[in-house]
Amino acid sequence: MQNESTVSRRHLLSAAAAGAAAIGTGAIAASPAEAAPRRRPNRIPRDKISVQLYTLRNQLAIDLDGTLAALAEIGYTRVEHAGFVGRTAAEFRAALDRAGLRATSGHVAIPQPFDAAVWERALEDAEIVGNRYIVHPFFGAGADGQPIRDSAVYQAFARDLDKAGALAREHGLDFGYHNHHNEFARQDGGTRTGYDILTGETDPGLVHLEVDLFWAFRGAHDPVDLIHQNRGRIRQVHVKDLAPSGSFADPGAGLIDFARIFEHSREAGLVEYIVERDDAGSPPRTPADALVTAEVGYDYLAGLRF
C-alpha cells in the first residue's frame, strides 16, 4: 500500500507538468521515506505567520487603513509588503502602526544593471518601514517573457545578488531571493538549472532563500529536496496552494502537503511562513476575495500540525 506522501507527490507533479513542460524541466525523483511520526506534533507559532500584501493589492488600493485593520483582526501581526501603495515609506509605516502590524519583510527588486546608490535608497526606505528582511522578487525571464537559458546571465545576476546582500547587511537587513518557476529551466543545454547557479554562486551569508512552494512545484522541484540541498538557508516560504488545474488555490484547499514540507522547518531554517495567492483580487476574483484568502491561509497555518 502506497503511503499518503507518495500519492500526494504524484498528484502534485501531475498538476505541475504543464508548467514544467513550458520551461523544459524534468520530473524529480522520490524523496527518502518519511520520518517516524512524532508524539507531539509541531505547529507554526502564530507570530511567525505573515501575508504577502501583493495578495491584497486591489483591496489596499481601495482602502489601505481598513484592509490593514482587517488583517490584524484576522490575527496577523506581521506582513510582507510589495511596494507602498502609492505612499512614501514613512506614510506606509504610519498606516501599519495604526493597524498594529509590522512589515517584517518586503519585496524590492535590485536595480539592473546594478546601481549601488539606487539600492541604498531602497534600503533606507526598508529601514523606515521597519523591515528585517528585504527580498528580490523575480528573475529568470527574458524580454520576450521566455525562460533564460544562458548560464552567464545567471552568473552575472548572482554577483549582483551578493553586492545587494552586502549592502543590506551594512543596513542591518537580511537580503533574500524569491523564486518563481523560470529559474528551474536547464541552462546551456545541460542539467544545471538557473536556480542551481543562484544558490551555488551566491554567498549564503549574504543571500538567504525565500522559497515559493507553489512555484517550486510548478518548476517540477520538490521543496523538501530544496531544503535538503540548502540546509539553514531557507528563512522564509510563500504558502500558496496548487489547484489540480495547475493554477492557484487558497492554502489547504489544493494538492500541496504542507505538513510534509514543514516537518523540515528546523533543517530549512524557517522563521516566516507567508500566505500568498497571486490571483487574489484579479478578475474573475474580487478584491474582497483577497481577504478571504488571507483569513483562510492564516487559519490553515495556525491549525496545521506536523
Tens-place pLDDT, residues 234-275:
999 999 999 999 999 999 999 999 999 999 999 999 999 999
pLDDT at site 71: 98
pLDDT at site 36: 55
Whether the predicted model's global pTM rises above the 0.85 cut: yes
pLDDT at site 280: 84
| CA distances in angstroms from 41 to 8, 108, 241, listed in the order given | 20, 36, 22
pLDDT at site 24: 43
Residue range 179-208: average pLDDT?
Answer: 97
**Summary mean pLDDT of the chain:** 90
* Residue 215 φ then ψ, to 5°: -70, -25
3-state secondary structure of 71: helix
CB neighbour list of residue 198: distance below 8 Å, 6 or more residues apart: 139, 154, 157, 158, 161, 177, 183
Question: How do residues 109-139 score in pLDDT, each as one tens digit?
Answer: 999 999 999 999 999 999 999 999 999 999 9
Where do the structural domains in the chain lie, given as residue ranges?
Answer: 4-22+43-303
C-alpha 112/C-alpha 92 separation (Å) is: 25
Question: How do residues 11-53 score in pLDDT, each as one tens digit?
Answer: 554 555 444 444 444 333 444 445 555 556 899 999 999 999 9
Assess whether pLDDT exceeds 90 at residue 55: yes
Q: Which residues pair with 242 in a beta bridge?
A: 248
Question: Which single residue is written with the C-alpha cell 551594512?
Answer: 170
C-alpha 139/C-alpha 194 separation (Å) is: 9
Q: Name the residue with higher pLDDT: 54 or 287.
A: 54
Identity of residue 227:
I
Task: Characterise 64 by phi-psi region: left (phi > 0), alpha (psi -120 to 50), beta (else).
Answer: alpha
Q: Which CATH number fits domain 4-22+43-303: 1.20.140.10, 3.90.660.10, 3.20.20.150, 3.30.530.20?
A: 3.20.20.150
